[in-house]
Structure 1
Amino acid sequence: MIQILILTIVHINGLQMEDKVSYLPPFNMSDQNFSIFSGYLSITNNNQSFHYVFVQSQLNNLDINVPLVLWLNGGPGCSSMIGFLQEIGPFVFMNEDDESLQFNEYSWNRVAHLLFLESPSGVGFSHNPLNITFNDQQTADDNLKIIQEFYSSYPEYQKNPLWLAGESYGGAYIPLLAEKIKKFNDLEVAVINLKGMMIGNGVTNLTHLPISQLIYQKEHQLLPPTFDITGCEKNVTSEECENINYDAWKITKRINPYDIYGYCYYEENEMEDELQWIQQMKQFMMIHNNNIVNVTNHDLGVPCVQIDNIQNYLNDVKIKRYLHVDENIEWFMCTKQQNKQFKYVSDPPIVMKVLQELLDFNIYTILLYNGDADSVVPWIDTLRSLQKLNVSITEEWRPYYVKNNQLGGYTQGYLNKLRFVTVRGAGHMVPQNDRITAFYLFNQTLNEETF
C-alpha cells in the first residue's frame, strides 16, 4: 500500500511539472509569486481531451480555505482563453488594440485559484476527435468528469471551496454543472466542495430573449420610437417576430451589440453583404425556433468584436509550446467549421428548471450580474427570468458604490442565497469593461459580504 501511494504521488507531481508554464511573454513566471499550468485533461471513454489553464492564487497556495474558481466562457463554442487573457487572468490584453500582455491589477487570482477550461471539446485547443454533436446535458456530464480529472492531477485542491463562474452561455453551462455536482455528491463518498456560482450576462431563458433585446434597444434609443415590436410581444418564435428582428438589425448593424457605447470593429466588405450580416446576428443574438438553438460553426465571426491580438498571440507556435498545446490547432475565439467540426444543440427550457431546483436546495450562493450596456443578454432579460422563478425578494432594489464611492449599479436580494446585480456602463464582458467593479463583486461574494 505504501509503495502504491508513493508511485501515485510521483505520477501526480510529474503531471504537474510537465504542464507548468515557465514563460508567458513578456512575463517570466520565475518572477511571480504564483504558478500557471497548461495542458490537457482527458475523458478516456471517448478520447476527448480538454485544454485547461490553472492559475494559482497570489495567496498562500497551501491554504485549503482559498477558493478554486472554474471559469467557462459561453457561445456555445467560444473559448475560455478569452476569460484568461482578456478578463480575469493575471496577464491580459487591457485594450482591444494592445499588442502585448500587461499585468492585471484586478486579476481574480489575487484571492482565488483559477481554472480555465476550453469546453466543450472541439473549442479552442481542445480535441473532439469523434465529431460529437453536443447538447447541454452532455456538456455538463463532460465538465463534471473533467473536474474529477483535475482533482486526480491536483489532489491538494480537492478540499478547497469550489465556485463556478462564467458568462453568456455560461448561464446554461454553470447551473447544469452545479446540478450534476449535487447529484454526484449525493451518490459518491468523495464530495466536491461546491459553494456557489457567479454568472455574468447569462443566457438562462431563450424563450423571451429576442423580445428582451428589442425592448432594451427601444429603451436605449437604438431603435426609433415608432419601431413596432408588437409582433414579437405576441409570439417570439413567429415568422413575423423574426422579420422584426431582421429589420432591427438593419438599423443597428454598426452598433456593438455587446457594448452599445463601445466601438464596433468591422470591415466595409462585411457590411456590404446584408444577408451575411443578418445570419451573423441571428446566431450571436441567439434567435431560435421552437426553443432549440443549433450552432454548427462561427465562420462569420463575432459582430463588432476585434480580437486579433489574442488570436495572433495564441497562434504563435512559441506560445503554443509554452502552453503545451497541440501546435497543429489554429485557435479561434469561437470555433470555426474550417478549423474543426463543432455542432451544438441547445435545450433552453431545461436551464430554468435546473435553476429552480438549485434554489430549492438552498445550499449554494448564486450571484447573477449584468453589465447594463449589453444588448445581447440585457439585464431586463435576466430580471424576467428571475420573475419566473419561485423565489421571494428579500431586499428591494438599492444602489451600491465602488471606486471612491461612485455608483457601481443596482442590486436586489432574494431568498435562498440569490442576488442580482447590474454593473453601470459595462457590456457583455463585465470583467473586461470594468475590472474594478467585477473584482469587487467577486471578492464580496466569495466572502459572503454585502455590496
Structure 2
Amino acid sequence: HTTVCLLLLNTFVVICCSWSVQDQESDRITYLPGQPENIAFNQYSGYVTVNHTAGRALFYWLTEASVDSVPDSRPLLLWLNGGPGCSSIAYGAAEEIGPFRINSNGKTLYLNSYSWNKLVNLLFLESPAGVGYSYSNTSSDLYTAGDRRTAEDSYAFLVSWFEKFPKYKHRDFYIAGESYAGHYVPQLSQIIYERNKGIQNPVINFKGFMVGNAVTDDYHDYIGTFEYWWTHGLISDSTYKSLRITCELGSSTHPSSDCLRALKLADGEMGKIDPYSIYTLPCNTSTSSSFRRRLRGYYPWMWRAYDPCTETYSTIYFNLPEVQKALHANVTKISYSWETCSNVIGDNWADSPLSMLPIYQELIAGGIRIWVFSGDTDSVVPMTATRYSIDALKLPTIKKWYPWYDNGEV
C-alpha cells in the first residue's frame, strides 16, 4: 500500500508540475513585432483570472532580467501605474522602466538603456479590470472599481501567478509604482504583509515597496501641489491664494464650484507645458494642458497620465492585431480599442482613502523596507507634496540631506 501511495503521489506531482510548465510556456513571447534582434531576456504575457463569478481577468507582461545578470538569482518586482485607470503597459513598460521604447512609426521598438530588467525581473500588471487589455465579463465592474477591489484583485492575481511561475515562489519580491499607484502599492503591500503573518517561508516573499511622485495624503498633496505651482512661477499670487481658500484641503472629491474656477484659472496661467517635466518642451500633438484633460479622473488637479508623443505611439502599437497576438492579449475580442487610460474607470472611481500614512506606519513598525522617491520637475504630484507627507510621519533622520551624484553630476 505504501508503494502504491508513493506512486500516486509521484504521479500527482508530475502532473501538477507539467501543468504549471505547460501553462507558463503557453504565455511565452517568442517574438514581438518590430523588436530588435537578439534580445538577451525572456518574456511572458497573458491573463490570470481573479474572479471567476464576475469574469474578471488581469493582463500581465513579465520581462525577465537579462541573461548576463543571472535572472534566477534576481528579485521579482511588480510595477503598477496609477490614474486611476491607466495602463502599466503603456507607461511603466513602454515609457518608464521597461526594456523597450516604441519608435515614432508606432510599429517598431528599440531598447531602453536604462531598463530596470538589467537588475530585476520585471512584472507589469494592468489593473483594475477594464484597464488596457484587462477585462471583466460584468460590465458594471467598470463603473464600480475602487481602491479596495483593486488591491484584493491584485492579491488574487499574485497568488495564481506564482502557481503559474513556481520558480518565483519564495524569491525576494518588491512592489513599485508611481502617481496614483501611491495608493495601489501600499494597499497591496498591506494585504501581503498581513496575510503572511505567522508563515515561516511565505510564497510571496515580500521585502518592501517603492513609490515615486506618489499620491499619498490628500491634505499634504493639495498643499504641496499648489505651493509647487506658485513657487515655480506657474501661477499668480492671487490664484494661489484662491486655491488655498476655496479648495477643501482634506478631501480630493467633489471640489466646490469656487475651487473648480480657481483650478481653471491656474490651468490658463500655466499654458501649454509638459506637466510631468515642466522644463521640457511638450509634444506638439499633446493635449495634456487642456483643462478638460487636467480635471478628468478622481483628483481634480491631476492629469491622468504622462502624455508625451510616445503615448500616441503606444496607442498605435498595442492596437496592432499582430502585437496583440504575440502578447496573447485581447483573447475575448473586447468591443473597444486598447487605451492608455480608461476614462470610464477613472471618472467612476468608487473608493479612495484620504491618506496612506496609516499603512506606512503599520508597515514601518513591521520592518518592511520603504523607499519614496520624487522627481523635482513633476508638477502633478510634486516633490513638495511628497516632503509634506513624509514629514507628517515624524520619522527620525538617520542621515542628513546630501547631494545625489550620477556620473559626477548632481
Specify the TM-score bucket, using the shorter chain as the normaliser: 0.7 to 0.9
Alignment partners' CA distance in 1, 2:242 and 2:347:
33
Q: Is the 8 A contact 1:72 1:118 kept in 2?
A: yes
Which of 31, 39, 56 lines up with 1:32 in the alignment? 39
In structure 2, the residue corresponding to 1:229 is in which secondary structure?
helix
Which of 354, 358, 367 lines up with 2:359 in the alignment? 354
Alignment partner of 1:138 is 2:149: yes
Map of 2:24 onto structure 1: 16
Map of 1:335 onto structure 2: 342
Alignment partners' CA distance in 2, 1:69 and 1:181:
14
Map of 2:264 onto structure 1: 246
Greater relative contact order structure (CA < 8 Å, 6+ sep): 2
Map of 2:6 onto structure 1: none
> How is 1:156-305 mapped onto 2 (pairs within 5 angstroms)?
156-186=167-197, 191=202, 192-224=204-236, 226-234=237-245, 236-237=247-248, 239-265=257-283, 277-283=290-296, 286-287=299-300, 305=308
RMSD in angstroms over aligned alpha carbons? Answer: 2.8
Q: TM-score, normalised by structure 1?
A: 0.78
In structure 2, the residue corresponding to 1:332 is in which secondary structure?
coil
Q: Which amino acid aligns with 1:321?
A: K
Map of 1:57 onto structure 2: 65
Alignment partners' CA distance in 1, 2:219 and 2:296:
15
Alignment partners' CA distance in 2, 1:326 and 1:230:
48
Following superposition, the deviation at residue 248 of structure 1 comes to 0.6
Q: Which amino acid aligns with 2:45?
A: S
| Alpha-carbon spacing, 1:243–1:341, altered in 2? closer, same or farther (3 Å) | closer
Q: Is the 8 A contact 2:98 2:116 kept in 1?
A: yes
Q: What are structure 1's unaligned runs of at least 5 residues? A: 408-451
Q: Which amino acid aligns with 1:215?
A: E
Instruction: Spell out, residue by residue over 1:91-125, the C-alpha distance to the aligned partner (whole angstroms, 9 max, x if none).
Output: 2237x787631112221111111111000111000
Q: Is the 8 A contact 2:242 2:262 kept in 1?
A: yes
Q: Is the 8 A contact 2:171 2:205 kept in 1?
A: yes
Following superposition, the deviation at residue 211 of structure 1 comes to 3.2
| Alpha-carbon spacing, 1:17–1:367, altered in 2? closer, same or farther (3 Å) | same
Following superposition, the deviation at residue 223 of structure 1 comes to 2.0
Alignment partners' CA distance in 1, 2:136 and 2:342:
12
Q: Is the 8 A contact 1:59 1:111 kept in 2?
A: no
| Alpha-carbon spacing, 1:326–1:304, altered in 2? closer, same or farther (3 Å) | closer
Instruction: Spell out, residue by residue over 1:369-426, the C-alpha distance to the aligned partner (whole angstroms, 9 max, x if none).
Output: 1111110000000101011114222222211100x2100xxxxxxxxxxxxxxxxxxx
Alignment partner of 1:406 is 2:401: no
Following superposition, the deviation at residue 251 of structure 1 comes to 1.4
In structure 2, the residue corresponding to 1:22 is in which secondary structure?
coil
Q: Is the 8 A contact 1:211 1:236 kept in 2?
A: no
Q: Is the 8 A contact 1:58 1:111 kept in 2?
A: yes
> How is 1:72-91 mapped onto 2 (pairs within 5 angstroms)?
72-81=80-89, 82-91=91-100
Map of 2:314 onto structure 1: 310
Q: Is the 8 A contact 1:119 1:126 kept in 2?
A: yes
Map of 2:253 onto structure 1: none
Alignment partners' CA distance in 2, 1:28 and 1:231:
52
In structure 2, the residue corresponding to 1:401 is in which secondary structure?
coil
Q: What are structure 2's unaligned runs of at least 5 residues? A: 1-8, 249-255
Map of 1:433 onto structure 2: none
Alignment partner of 1:320 is 2:324: yes
Q: TM-score, normalised by structure 2?
A: 0.86
Map of 2:108 onto structure 1: 100
Q: Which amino acid aligns with 1:33?
A: A
Which of the pair is proportionally richer in strand? 1
| Alpha-carbon spacing, 1:284–1:378, altered in 2? closer, same or farther (3 Å) | farther
Q: Is the 8 A contact 1:206 1:286 kept in 2?
A: no
Detail structure 1 runs of 4+ shifted over 6 Å in the superposition: 60-63
Alignment partners' CA distance in 2, 1:319 and 1:401:
39
Which stretch shows the higher mean deviation, 387-396 or 314-323? 387-396
Q: Is the 8 A contact 1:172 1:351 kept in 2?
A: yes
Q: Is the 8 A contact 2:69 2:119 kept in 1?
A: no
Alignment partners' CA distance in 1, 2:182 and 2:386:
10
Q: Say how many residue pairs are matched.
A: 385
> How is 1:386-405 mapped onto 2 (pairs within 5 angstroms)?
386-402=390-406, 404-405=407-408
Following superposition, the deviation at residue 242 of structure 1 comes to 3.3
| Alpha-carbon spacing, 1:286–1:236, altered in 2? closer, same or farther (3 Å) | same
In structure 2, the residue corresponding to 1:397 is in which secondary structure?
coil
Alignment partner of 1:344 is 2:360: no
Alignment partners' CA distance in 2, 1:106 and 1:137:
33
Which stretch shows the higher mean deviation, 165-174 or 343-352? 343-352
Map of 1:47 onto structure 2: 55
Q: Is the 8 A contact 2:35 2:108 kept in 1?
A: no
Q: Is the 8 A contact 1:64 1:160 kept in 2?
A: no
